[in-house]
Structure 1
Amino acid sequence: MSKQHSFTIEDQFYLDGKPLKIISGAIHYFRVVPEYWQDRLEKLQALGCNTVETYIPWNMHEPQEGEYCFSGMYDVRKFILTAQKLGLYVILRPSPYICAEWEFGGLPFWLLKDGDMKLRFNYPPYLAKIDRYYKRLFEEFNDLQIDQGGPIVMMQVENEYGSYANDKQYMHSLVDLMRKHGVTVPLVTSDGPWHDMLDNGSVQDAALPTINCGSDVKEHFVRLKQFHGEDRPLMVMEFWIGWFDAWGDEQHHTREAQSAAAELDDILKEGSVNIYMFHGGTNFGFTSGANYYDKLSPDTTSYDYDALLTEWGDFTPKYEAFRQVIARYTEVPEVQFSTLINKKAYGEVAVQQKVSLFSIADKLAKVVESPYPLTMEALNQPTGYVLYQTNLGKQRRIEDFRLIQCADRAQVFINDKLMFTKYDQHMEDKELFDLPDPQNELKVLVENMGRINYSVKMNTQHKGIKGGVIVNGAFQSGWRHYALPLDNLEMVDFSKEYVSGTPAFYRFELEVDEAGDTFLDFTGWGKGVAWINGFNLGRYWEIGPQRRLYIPGPLLKTGANEVILFETEGKAGDSIRFEDSAQLG
Structure 2
Amino acid sequence: MGKFEIKEAFYLNEEPFKIISGAIHYFRVVPEYWRDRLEKLRLMGCNTVETYVAWNMHEPNEGEFHFEAGLDLRKFIQTAQEVGLYVILRPAPYICAEWEFGGLPYWLLHDPNLKLRFDYQPFMEKIHRYFDQLFAQVIDLQVTNNGPIILMQVENEYGGYANDKNYMRKMAQMMIDQGVNVPLVTSDGPWGDMLENGSIPELALPTINCGSKVKEHFKRLRAFHGEKRPLMVMEFWIGWFDAWGDEAHHTTSVAEATNELSDILDEGSVNIYMFHGGTNFGFTSGANYYEKLMPDVTSYDYDALLTEWGDMTPKYEAFKEVIRRHTAIPEFPLTTVIQKKRYGKQTVRQRVSLFETLDTISQKVHSNYPLSMEALNQGRGYIYYRSQIGPARPIDDFRLISAMDRAHIYINNQLKTIQYDLEIGQKESFVLDMPENELGILIENMGRVNYSVKMNHQHKGIKDGVLINGAFQSEWEMYALPMDNLEHIDFTKSYHVGQPSFSRFVIDIEETGDTFIDLAGWGKGFVTVNGFNIGRFWEKGPQKRLYIPAPILKIGSNEIIVFESDGQVTDTVTLTDIPDLG
Task: State the TM bucket, normalised to the shorter chain.
Answer: over 0.9
Deviations 1:246-271 (A, max 9, x none): 00000000001111000000000000
**Is the contact between residue 533 and residue 555 of structure 1 (CA under 8 Å) also seen in structure 2?**
yes
Q: Counterparts in 2 of 1:439-478, with a 5 A limit?
A: 439-478=436-475
Separation in structure 2 between the aligned mates of residue 362 and residue 134 of structure 1, nearest angstrom: 38
Deviations 1:393-445 (A, max 9, x none): 10000000001110000000000000000011110111010111000000000
| 2:422 is the counterpart of 1:422 | no
Segment drifting more, 359-368 vs 277-286: 359-368
SS state at 1:425 partner? helix
Whichever residue aligns with residue 86 of structure 2, its letter is Y
**Is the contact between residue 413 and residue 443 of structure 1 (CA under 8 Å) also seen in structure 2?**
yes
Report the identity percentage: 64
SS state at 2:503 partner? strand
SS state at 1:523 partner? coil
C-alpha displacement of 1:500: 1.0
In structure 1, stretches of 5+ residues that fail to align are: none
2:353 aligns to what? 356
Whichever residue aligns with residue 258 of structure 1, its letter is A
| 2:216 is the counterpart of 1:219 | yes
C-alpha displacement of 1:230: 3.6
Q: Give TM-score scaled by structure 2 length.
A: 1.00
Deviations 1:148-203 (A, max 9, x none): 11000000000000000000000011011111111111000000000000000000
Deviations 1:497-539 (A, max 9, x none): 1111100100001111100000000101000010000000010
SS state at 1:69 partner? coil
Separation in structure 1 between the aligned mates of residue 339 and residue 421 of structure 2, nearest angstrom: 41
| 2:161 is the counterpart of 1:179 | no
| 2:195 is the counterpart of 1:198 | yes
Q: Counterparts in 2 of 1:210-359, with a 5 A limit?
A: 210-359=207-356
2:159 aligns to what? 162
SS state at 2:76 partner? helix
Separation in structure 2 between the aligned mates of residue 162 and residue 153 of structure 1, nearest angstrom: 23
C-alpha displacement of 1:229: 2.3
C-alpha displacement of 1:6: 0.5
| 2:404 is the counterpart of 1:394 | no
Separation in structure 1 between the aligned mates of residue 362 and residue 488 of structure 2, nearest angstrom: 9
C-alpha displacement of 1:335: 2.3
Separation in structure 2 between the aligned mates of residue 198 and residue 335 of structure 1, nearest angstrom: 41
**Is the contact between residue 45 and residue 335 of structure 1 (CA under 8 Å) also seen in structure 2?**
no
2:572 aligns to what? 575
Separation in structure 2 between the aligned mates of residue 436 and residue 529 of structure 1, nearest angstrom: 34
2:481 aligns to what? 484
| 2:562 is the counterpart of 1:565 | yes
C-alpha displacement of 1:73: 1.0
SS state at 2:376 partner? coil
**Is the contact between residue 156 and residue 188 of structure 1 (CA under 8 Å) also seen in structure 2?**
yes
Separation in structure 2 between the aligned mates of residue 20 and residue 65 of structure 1, nearest angstrom: 40
SS state at 1:390 partner? strand
State the number of aligned residues: 582
SS state at 1:80 partner? helix
Separation in structure 1 between the aligned mates of residue 508 and residue 296 of structure 2, nearest angstrom: 31
Whichever residue aligns with residue 215 of structure 1, its letter is S
1:49 aligns to what? 46
Separation in structure 1 between the aligned mates of residue 432 and residue 567 of structure 2, nearest angstrom: 22
Which of 122, 136, 145 aligns to 2:142? It is 145
Separation in structure 2 between the aligned mates of residue 244 and residue 454 of structure 1, nearest angstrom: 14
Separation in structure 2 between the aligned mates of residue 339 and residue 582 of structure 1, nearest angstrom: 21
Q: Give TM-score scaled by structure 1 length.
A: 0.99
C-alpha displacement of 1:330: 0.5
| 2:120 is the counterpart of 1:117 | no
1:5 aligns to what? 2
Whichever residue aligns with residue 18 of structure 1, its letter is E
Separation in structure 2 between the aligned mates of residue 412 and residue 182 of structure 1, nearest angstrom: 53
Separation in structure 2 between the aligned mates of residue 202 and residue 82 of structure 1, nearest angstrom: 32
Which of 116, 125, 130 aligns to 1:133? It is 130
Separation in structure 2 between the aligned mates of residue 373 and residue 184 of structure 1, nearest angstrom: 49
Which of 550, 572, 575 aligns to 1:553? It is 550
Whichever residue aligns with residue 248 of structure 2, its letter is Q
SS state at 2:258 partner? helix
Whichever residue aligns with residue 149 of structure 1, its letter is N
Separation in structure 2 between the aligned mates of residue 464 and residue 485 of structure 1, nearest angstrom: 12
How large is the RMSD of aligned CA atoms in angstroms?
0.5
Separation in structure 2 between the aligned mates of residue 584 and residue 54 of structure 1, nearest angstrom: 24
Separation in structure 1 between the aligned mates of residue 332 and residue 561 of structure 2, nearest angstrom: 39
Which of 22, 27, 49 aligns to 1:25? It is 22
Deviations 1:24-68 (A, max 9, x none): 000000000000000000000010000000000000000000000
Separation in structure 2 between the aligned mates of residue 342 and residue 472 of structure 1, nearest angstrom: 58
| 2:62 is the counterpart of 1:98 | no
